[in-house]
Amino acid sequence: MRKILRSLSFLSLLLFAFSADAQVSGSVFRDLNANGSRETGAGFNESGVQGITVTAYTASGTVLGTVATDATGSF
């Protein structure tokens, strides 16, 4: 019985740990030199893109949330 209670307690802890909220953030920008990095220094103007829809999905394809990028391209 003691082993079962320990197992159930551990399972409860795991379920609690994996049910926490998560956040995803990033930015959408014009990658003018196509190198995958955003340059903002002298001679570069890889500005953010506003109004791009970013959608997060579960592994089975269910939509978790949708947001649009802001004026700086951030989401």
Return averaged pLDDT per consecutive 10 residues of the chain, 75 residues in all: 46 52 86 87 85 93 93 93
> Shortest CA distance to 51 belongs to which of 68, 66, 65, 67?
68
pLDDT confidence of residue 5: 43
- Residues 6 or more apart in contact with residue 1 via CB below 8 angstroms: none
